[in-house]
Amino acid sequence: MKYESATFDNDGRLAIEGEKRPNRRWWIVGIVALVLALAGAYWGFGKSAAPTTMASKKDAMPNVSVVVPGSKLIARVVSATGTLAARREMPVGVAGEGGMVTRVLVEPGQWVQAGQVLAQVDRSVQSETAASLAAQINVAQADAAIAESELKRAKSLVDRGFISKADLERRTATRDAALARVNVARAALGEQRARNGRLDIRAPAAGLILTRNVEPGQIVSSGTGTLFRMAKGGEMEMRAALSEADLAGLPAGVAARVTPVGTTQSFKGQVWQVSPVIDPQTRQGVARIALSYDPALRPGGFAAAEITSGGARAPQLPNSAIQSDSAGNYVYVLDGQDRVVRRKVTLGDVSDEGVIVASGLTGTERVVLSAGAFLNPGQKVKPILKSAQG
């Protein structure tokens, strides 16, 4: 029987002959080298990853167009409706004693001059009366001539003693009375001619005939009423009904644009009078807008007006900058760290140029122009400044 020999190592442990013992020193060296390699790799990665991460975060911020709107003078535009009318309407009736109308010389829409005859009234009786008065003047003049001749003869005889001074005075008085009767006859004829002239219906001033309410054969008198209506000088106006709040800041002289109903044509005008009273029932007053004559402006028609009154300074933004939700209208502005901040705004008039911001902005903020729906309050962005004119 063969036995293997047993030996003991330096630590006193039993070692079997022929068994390889691992070299612990090499194991320790390997472990230390591995630890050092891992530490070096971590240190190098940490140094290089930090700036890379910061750069990537910066590159991830969205580019956003912003604008500083400033403030501009915004005209106040007041809308109103009302009726068209003659600025100075003149009713024309019978000025004299009247009679039967023989001729009507004008039609509605026709221009006339001051004193022009609009209609003629029969004057056959009045003409005969005038002729009689003219004859009476001739009679009175003949009597006056005889009285003057007798007075001259009496003056030549008084010095000879054939006629007394009392007789001369009587003849002088007779001559004076005859001359007075001539003047009376002339005055009567002038009065009759004036009455005859008033039989004709005449235009009191130059202007445009609006209506005609008389026909030949009609009997007219001073109580008949209005026969013609005229627009003095053809001037028109719109009587715009406005609330008392709109009237409060509306001075005379401001520009307006009037558009009659049924047309797209607008006419320039000017407010020439603002009502000094307010209707207690409707709480409205009237602004009278002067207009030049145009056939499209028909008195009695309905029209709409836009009155430009005064103005105030306010920011103006494009429609793309305005956002809205259940809480109301708002815009996004950027703070000093380029973070998005929600700002509530109140809007004013909207036009082709943009939207007026009545309150909520001073005009010095950087306002996000677009892409507001994709941003969130507090989000950091990279601003790109645009000009206020777009």
Indicate the SS3 state at residue 147: helix
Give yes or no: residues 148 and 186 share one domain: yes
Give yes or no: residues 101 and 133 share one domain: yes
> Last residue of some domain: 220, 250, 265?
220
Q: What is the DSSP string of 191-232?
A: HHHHHHHHHSEE-SSSEEEEEE---TT-EE-TTS--SEEEEE
> Is 268 inside a domain boundary?
yes
- What is the domain count for the chain? 4
> Which of 388, 384, 221, 240 is CA-nearest to residue 316?
388
Give yes or no: residues 281 and 367 share one domain: no
Alpha-carbon span 340 to 375, nearest angstrom:
8
Give yes or no: residues 216 and 239 share one domain: no
> Is 261 inside a domain boundary?
yes
Give yes or no: residues 341 and 249 share one domain: no
pTM metric for this prediction: 0.54
**CATH code of the domain in which 359 resides:** 2.40.420.20
> Is 84 inside a domain boundary?
no
> Which of 327, 94, 80 is CA-nearest to residue 197?
94
- 347 close to 329: Cβ distance less than 8 angstroms: yes
> Is 227 inside a domain boundary?
no
Give yes or no: residues 208 and 238 share one domain: no
Domain limits for position 38: 1-59
Q: φ, ψ for residue 258 (rounded to 5)?
A: -115, 135
Q: What is the DSSP string of 43-95?
A: HHHHHHHHHHHHHHHHHHSPEEEEE----EEEEEEEEEEEEEEESSEEEE---
Q: What is the DSSP string of 239-257?
A: EEEEEHHHHHT--TT-EEE
> Is 81 inside a domain boundary?
no
**Which amino acid is located at 10 in the chain?**
N
pLDDT in tens, the chain (390 residues): 444 444 444 444 444 444 445 566 666 767 767 766 666 655 555 544 445 454 455 557 888 888 898 877 776 778 889 999 999 999 999 887 888 889 999 999 899 999 999 998 887 776 777 787 888 888 888 888 888 888 887 777 776 667 777 777 888 888 888 888 889 888 888 887 777 777 888 999 999 999 999 999 999 888 888 999 999 988 999 999 998 888 877 888 889 999 999 888 999 999 999 988 888 888 899 999 999 888 888 899 999 998 887 667 788 888 888 888 888 899 999 998 889 999 999 887 777 778 888 888 888 889 998 877 788 888 898 888 887 664
> Last residue of some domain: 192, 220, 248?
220
Give yes or no: residues 106 and 206 share one domain: yes
